[in-house]
């Protein structure tokens, strides 16, 4: 039987394996964090998040509970907030073996610092042909904007309730987003879809998107039309949240023809149109669900754990 800590460690491990960045970049990033910690004075180390030394994803953390606790069952969902924690306790009262709550979207201190993950977008953009100096400059303003937005949020509400009921609670965000990004990019690269219609058709063959399409939340062309040629396709589903609208011009210059994403703000959509980049929105909750299912597919090969899905998540098994 796996423990909370073991599940968390596996999530980070698989997230790194699926990370679109070069593994040497991730290793160097972690090395820098370790050096920073070692250089701190003793009194400065007290508030340092030592998880950063081994985990490159600030939005994925054990939020409450001892890592040594064994897990027979998990209540898992896209957003696990106060209501979902109460559901977990109610299910436990009815005899369900809920030993762990897993949220995809970050809560607690993982939400407070999740903007840090956005720095990885610079390396991803560089991978697609945008100079690293340009990518970092374009993203810096957007990262500060997101930081300001999360500062006043009441981050710990759900974590406090989990603590009252003594239910271990963790969130796995970027690792799952990495898994879905790699999965879709590989499928699209192998299929070589000619048009936007071909991409949408390919996505709808995936159970999570097929189900979402049936309730009007599936893949849709946001910029372009069915017959438009796709060109070079970039799956953009990891790195915390949406990046800067200013990157669209650079991606166009780098040869990107189509972006497949979870969601896209209106300002970025307008920039995509202006720079002749086609956009397909696969669907936010469907994409998150796919990433979580890919994680569970791997996890359940190691240990038999009961999975109960809520908050937009539906378990789909890949053979």
How much is the pLDDT for 43?
87
How much is the pLDDT for 15?
98
Q: How far apart are CA 38 and CA 48, in angstroms?
A: 11
Instruction: Find where tokens 């937009």 sit.
Output: 312
Please report, for the chain, the start and end positions of each structural domain, with discontinuous segments joined by +.
4-173+287-310, 179-283
How much is the pLDDT for 319?
65
pLDDT digit string (tens) for the chain, length 319 residues: 999 999 999 999 999 999 999 999 999 999 999 999 999 998 889 889 999 999 999 999 999 999 999 999 999 999 999 999 999 999 999 999 999 999 999 999 999 999 999 999 999 999 999 999 999 999 999 999 999 999 999 999 999 999 999 999 999 999 999 999 999 999 999 999 999 999 999 999 999 999 999 999 999 999 999 999 999 999 999 998 888 899 999 999 999 999 999 999 999 999 999 999 999 999 999 999 999 999 999 999 999 999 999 999 999 998 6
How much is the pLDDT for 227?
97
Q: How far apart are CA 233 and CA 230, in angstroms?
A: 7
How much is the pLDDT for 244?
87
How much is the pLDDT for 242?
86
- The pTM score is 0.95
Cα 45 to chain centroid distance, Å, stands at 29
Residues in contact with 50: Cβ distance below 8 Å, sequence separation at least 6, in sequence order? 37
> How many helices (H) and strands (E) in the chain?
13, 9
Using an 8 Å Cβ cutoff, are 168 and 69 in contact?
A: yes
Q: How far apart are CA 69 and CA 99, in angstroms?
A: 8
What CATH architecture applies to the domain 179-283? 3-Layer(aba) Sandwich (3.40)
What is the chain's alpha carbon radius of gyration, rounded to the nearest angstrom?
A: 20
Overall size of the chain counted in residues: 319
From its phi and psi, is residue 311 left (phi > 0), alpha (psi between -120 and 50) or beta? left
Provide the pairing of β-strand 256-261 with 278-281. Answer: parallel
How much is the pLDDT for 131?
93
Selection from 79, 87, 76, 91 nearest residue 296 by Cα: 76
């Amino acid at each position: 039987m796996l423990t909370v800590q073991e599940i968390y460690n596996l999530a980070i491990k698989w997230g790194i394996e699926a990370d679109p960045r070069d593994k040497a970049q991730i290793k160097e990033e972690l090395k820098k964090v370790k050096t920073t910690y070692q250089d701190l004075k003793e009194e400065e180390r007290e508030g340092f998040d030592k998880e950063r030394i081994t985990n490159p994803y600030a939005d994925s953390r054990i939020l409450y509970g001892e890592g040594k606790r064994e897990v027979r069952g998990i209540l898992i969902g896209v957003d696990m907030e106060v209501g979902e924690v109460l559901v977990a306790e109610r299910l436990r009262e009815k005899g369900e073996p809920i030993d762990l709550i897993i949220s995809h979207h970050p809560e607690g201190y993982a939400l407070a610092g999740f903007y840090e993950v956005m720095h990885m977008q610079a390396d991803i953009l560089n991978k697609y042909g945008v100079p690293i100096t340009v990518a970092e400059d374009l993203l810096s303003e957007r990262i500060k904007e997101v930081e300001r937005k999360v500062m006043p949020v009441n981050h710990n509400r759900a974590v406090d309730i989990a603590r009252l009921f003594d239910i271990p609670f963790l969130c796995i965000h970027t690792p799952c987003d990495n898994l879905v990004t790699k999965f879709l990019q590989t499928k699209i690269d192998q299929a070589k879809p000619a048009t936007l219609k071909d991409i949408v058709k390919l996505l709808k063959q995936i159970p999570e998107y097929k189900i979402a399409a049936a309730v009007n939340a599936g893949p849709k062309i946001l910029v372009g039309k069915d017959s438009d040629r796709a060109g070079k396709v970039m799956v953009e589903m990891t790195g915390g949240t949406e990046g800067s609208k200013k990157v669209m011009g650079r991606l166009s210059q780098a040869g990107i023809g189509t972006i497949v994403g979870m969601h896209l703000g209106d300002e970025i959509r307008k920039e995509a149109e202006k720079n002749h980049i086609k956009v397909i929105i696969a669907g936010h909750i469907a994409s998150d669900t796919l990433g979580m299912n890919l994680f569970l597919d791997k996890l359940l090969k190691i240990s038999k754990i009961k999975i109960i899905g809520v908050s937009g998540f539906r378990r789909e098994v890949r053979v």
